Amino acid sequence: MIDVQHVTKRYGPLTAVDDLSFRVERGEILGFLGPNGAGKTTTMRILTGYLPATEGRVQVAGFDVFEQPIEAKRRTGYLPETPPLYPEMTVDEYLQFVARIKGVPASDRQAQIGSAMERTSIADMGDRYCGRLSKGYRQRVGLAQAILHNPDVLILDEPTAGLDPRQIIETRKLITDLAGDHTVILSTHILPEVSQTCQRVVIINRGRVVAVDTPDNLTARLQGSQTLYLQVDTQGADPLPALEGVAGVLSVTVADKRDGVGGYQVESGSGDDIRRELSRTVVTNGWGLLELRPQQMSLEDIFLQLTTEDAPADTLAADAGTGDDADEANTEDRTDG
Amino acid sequence: MGNILTLAQKELRAYFVSPIAYVLLVFFALLFGYFYVSSINFMVQLSMGQFGMGGPQIININEFMIRPLFGNTAVILLFMLPMLTMRSFAEEKRSGTIELLLTSPLTDFQIILGKFLGAMALYTLMLSLTLVHIGVLFWYGEPEWAPVLSGYLGLLLMGGSFISIGLAISSMTKNQIVAGVSTFAVLLLFWIINWMGDASGTMTQSVLAYLSILEHLDDFSKGVIDTTHVTYYVSFITLGLFLTAKSMDMARWNG
């Protein structure tokens, strides 16, 4: 649905986007992740045809953005970082205007506007002036504007920025709902957002793709092994030999220790789930099992690791473009790490 | 075409929702009224023979009243039209709404023409206020209508030139004030450009006189529709719109 090939954007001597390539399939939600100034907004502007790329090709819904801009734009909905609202228009007037310039036929206009307002829960805001809306409502009117003409592709630049927690949850749900018949690209620098809404993540830094994968695969890939945190009350006994004896355990290190309660980091091969064995061992020894949880590398860690070190980046970038793992992400399949 | 009209309608609406349209209409009417009354006074004095021309006489209203009045109108417009166009692109760029227009299935040509027609519509409305004043002349006197019509055509063409330059300059900046002041300065320069001609040679003088934007209006209010003048204004408008298109394109490449 979206095909980006070797796109480069230079502003004079500055390279904002450097040889970027990725594909997004129909119905997919792709998260665009990167620190501020990484080139997210520039990339999105290129995808929408707002900016021309210095080099490279972008196809949206089968149309080249540079050669057939009108056709491509007809099939694209875009929410820029600041919602493009005219303060002097009411929400109704604004959406009417947008429907016209997006080429929604007159007969469908009212119905399309109604459904867009319904989906973004602004149905009762029609008479309000855009200039007087709160940040949350501006964002939603912006979103309504983007989905109004029922585009194949939705490009959302930080759609949840400035919203309160409840609105963020609603917006995420809306985006997830939209993904069925729309292809969505959203940019963010909020990491949990990506793991909650996106099937695939493109991490970019300084204009280059650092990694493309599902959020779960990213997590798994960067971890050669799995670590569990275990807290036991052994009443003074040393649990190390017993723990090390559990099948599958590679190593046990003491994390913290006080008043007879010990915290241990238990490392195992990434494919083995040793939690049952481990808890059984603790219980049969008559100790108190206080806590047992997997220590997962969060997206934050991955993000920091990828955007600060260059070494692991190369190995991951090699996988760029394989979007077939999208489904596996939902089935918690981590065995391929 | 539908898109152009939608955009023009949006522009016109924007003028009327903000105070701009009302301020322009009111002050234009006020200033035009002032020049109108003072030229009536002048004409009355003239026809009473107060300038020692031997008693009362019949004065040509077109020649002594309407023509100078249109000349004065041109000067009022020179001051006021930059305020009409200064926000057009600058404000869209500042607030980011230009992103909506440029990512919608619209061509640059449609966007520019929509803005141009929107501004022209308000300008036409401003001019139409003066129909009342001119109508009164027809009620009490017997001016010829042909020079009045051609005079209005001249004013429309001249105003169109002002607006197209205003759009071009507005598309080069994010700041309305910068756009307004620059437009005013450029128009002023095009007005006074032939003054310098007086001191230089005849060749330069005729070139500079040709460039002067108000110079071309006079023949229209005399009742002469000269293709030279029409060509001048139409070229001016085309150039202004072309520059706007170029500046939009450049803004795109430079970010």
A77-86, A323-332, B143-152: the lowest-pLDDT one = A323-332
Nearest to A84 among B18, B96, B252 (CB): B96
* Residue A91 pLDDT exceeds 70: yes
* Residue A80 pLDDT exceeds 70: yes
* Residue A270 pLDDT exceeds 80: no
Using a CB–CB cutoff of 8 Å, tell me whether B1 touches chain A: no
H or E stretch at A139: helix A135-147
**Which residues in chain B have Cβ-Cβ distances shorter than 8 Å to A145?**
100
Distance from CA of A142 to the nearest CA of B (A): 10
Per DSSP, what are the bridge partners of residue A258?
A261
Comparing A85 with B60, the larger pLDDT belongs to A85
**B93-98: long-range pairs with CB below 8 Å, 24+:** B93/B171, B93/B173, B93/B174, B93/B251, B94/B174, B94/B175, B94/B176, B95/A82, B95/A84, B95/A85, B95/A86, B95/A87, B96/A80, B96/A81, B96/A82, B96/A84, B97/A84, B97/A85, B97/A86, B98/A84
Boundaries of every domain in chain B: 2-254
Comparing alpha-carbon positions, the chain B residue that sits nearest to A78 is B103
- Residue A84 gets which letter from DSSP? -
- Residue A296 gets which letter from DSSP? P
| Predicted local confidence at residue A308, as pLDDT | 67
How would residue B17 be classed by pLDDT, with cut points 50, 70 and 90? confident
- The verdict on ipTM greater than 0.90 is no
Using a CB–CB cutoff of 8 Å, tell me whether B99 touches chain A: yes
How would residue A328 be classed by pLDDT, with cut points 50, 70 and 90? very low
Q: How far apart are CA A125 and CA A250, in angstroms?
A: 60
Number of other CB atoms surrounding residue B11 within 10 Å = 20
* Residue B140 pLDDT exceeds 80: yes
Using a CB–CB cutoff of 8 Å, tell me whether B172 touches chain A: no
Q: Do B99 and A70 touch (CB under 8 A)?
A: no
A51-55, A144-148, A282-286: the lowest-pLDDT one = A282-286
| Predicted local confidence at residue A332, as pLDDT | 36
pLDDT digits (tens, 9 = 90+) for B167-207: 999 999 999 999 999 999 999 998 888 776 566 667 777 78
For the whole model, what pTM was predicted? 0.81
* Residue A300 pLDDT exceeds 70: no
Q: Do A78 and B103 touch (CB under 8 A)?
A: yes
Tell me the average pLDDT across A64-74. 93
pLDDT digits (tens, 9 = 90+) for B27-59: 999 999 999 999 888 888 877 776 665 666 677
**Phi, then psi, of A327 in degrees rounded to 5:** -70, -35
**Contact (Cβ atoms closer than 8 angstroms) between residue A150 and residue A102:** no
Q: Do B252 and A73 touch (CB under 8 A)?
A: no
| Predicted local confidence at residue A318, as pLDDT | 39
* Residue A290 pLDDT exceeds 90: no
* Residue B145 pLDDT exceeds 70: yes
How would residue A314 be classed by pLDDT, with cut points 50, 70 and 90? very low
pLDDT digits (tens, 9 = 90+) for B79-90: 999 999 999 999
Taking the C-alpha atoms of B186, B191, B195 and B201 in order, what is their torsion angle to the nearest 10 degrees?
80
How would residue A299 be classed by pLDDT, with cut points 50, 70 and 90? low
* Residue A326 pLDDT exceeds 50: no
Tell me the average pLDDT across B152-163. 95
Q: What angle do CA A287, A291, A292 make, to 5 degrees?
A: 105
Comparing A337 with A102, the larger pLDDT belongs to A102
Distance from CA of A99 to the nearest CA of B (A): 10
Which residues in chain B (9-38) have CB-CB distances under 8 A to chain A? 10, 13-14, 17-18
Distance from CA of B253 to the nearest CA of A (A): 7
Using a CB–CB cutoff of 8 Å, tell me whether B54 touches chain A: no
* Pure H helices in chain B: 2-17, 20-47, 61, 67-85, 90-95, 98-102, 108-140, 145-170, 176-197, 202-211, 217-222, 227-254
| Predicted local confidence at residue B229, as pLDDT | 92
The Cα-based distances of B59 to B34, B42, B68, B71, B141 in angstroms read 21, 11, 14, 19, 10
| Predicted local confidence at residue B157, as pLDDT | 95
In Å, how far from its chain's centre is CA A25? Answer: 15
| Predicted local confidence at residue A311, as pLDDT | 41
End-to-end CA distance of chain B: 29
Q: How high is the mean pLDDT of chain B?
A: 89
Choose from A17, A101, A130, A138 for mutation: most chain B CBs within 10 A. A101
User: Residue B215 corresponds to which tokens in the numbers above?
Assistant: 């110079």
* Residue B152 pLDDT exceeds 50: yes
Tell me the average pLDDT across A37-63. 90
How would residue A321 be classed by pLDDT, with cut points 50, 70 and 90? very low
**Contact (Cβ atoms closer than 8 angstroms) between residue A77 and residue A149:** yes
| Predicted local confidence at residue A324, as pLDDT | 38
Tell me the average pLDDT across B85-104. 94
Nearest to B17 among A45, A85, A88 (CB): A88
Interface residues on A facing B, Cβ-Cβ cutoff 8 A? 11, 45, 48-52, 69-71, 73-74, 76, 78, 80-82, 84-89, 93, 97-98, 100-103, 145
**Contact (Cβ atoms closer than 8 angstroms) between residue B81 and residue B163:** yes
**Phi, then psi, of A54 in degrees rounded to 5:** -70, -40
The Cα-based distances of B5 to A85, A95, A101 in angstroms read 20, 16, 10
